[in-house]
Amino acid sequence: MKNKVSVIGAGRVGATAAQYIAEDELADVVMVDIVEGLPQGKSLDLLEAGPIRGFDSILSGSNDYKDTANSDIVVIAAGLARKPGMSREELLMKNSEIIKSITDKVVKESPNCIIIVVSNPLDVMTYLCWKLSGFSPKRVLGMAGTLDSARFRAFVAKELNVSVKDTQALVLGGHGDSMVPLPRYCTVCGIPITELIPKKRIDSIVERTRKAGGEIVDYLKTGSAYYSPGACAAEMVEVILKDKKRLLPCAAYLNGEYGLKDVYVGVPVILGASGAERIVEVDLTKEEKNALHASAEIVKKNIAKLGECV
């Protein structure tokens, strides 16, 4: 029996995630959107690419959540995208209503699924989705840490003129300007970048990682990133469906880990068939821990703004 993944939101991020999932033959994919014809047209277009790209995954589009029934994983990529000058937090109230409506329908049709949230502001939307779903926090994850770390890796690879395959990185905290990239845990073939790159350049790369999403928004003017978020969502889908037990930075629920409670932020997580199977606590310096707590506090303040929604 084939796996089934539903992608909610047929915009650029959702459609790109669906494309990667289908091309890697991870599952059959159902795309859902409120705009009539949009998910149907994009899914048909992707399906017709199958003979050229060599994949046999079946894609379909719908405006009805009944077609998502019994999904193994649901990727939520719906919501308003950031515009130039707009912070992720400014999206809070608008996207919270969208997430609320989606979560209710997803849970009704796929009560045993794992949910991956991509919508911004990501940590807050993941918390809201978890609260409304009634699921174990292990089954509700946010994509951001994977994306932030991928961006860090890309910038390091470019700086050193090495393959991205040889880079590893770790970014903690909320998905925003307060995120905490950790150069001590960023390596090239096991060699810490602190031994390969001057501190001034590392500081510049760290800052660019924090601002990476906004950099793309400024270039695009009328949209935000979608290739990299789509790829990261697809990677998480693969790791879960194949029970790979990979260690990836994801937005996960903390209940005492890192001295934090009742909040979703990016931390290292062992991902497997049941979702977030274990949170890994790495040693942090006092400065790094303070930065993580400050980032989590921003997420908590935004959660508090949701009021009755949670």
- Residues carrying an active site annotation: 175
Quick check: 32 and 246 in contact, CB under 8 A?
A: no
Among residues 6, 2, 7, 12, the alpha carbon closest in space to that of 220 is found at: 12
Taking the C-alpha atoms of residue 93 and residue 125, their distance in angstroms, rounded to an integer, is 10
What count of Cα atoms within 13 Å lies in the side-chain half-sphere of residue 10?
24
Tally: H helices and E strands in the chain: 9, 14
Assign residue 221 a region: left if phi > 0, alpha if psi is -120 to 50, beta otherwise?
left
CA dihedral sign, ordered 139, 100, 81, 27: positive
Instruction: Estimate to the nearest angstrom the gap between the alpha carbon of 149 and the chain centroid.
Output: 11
Quick check: 30 and 6 in contact, CB under 8 A?
A: yes
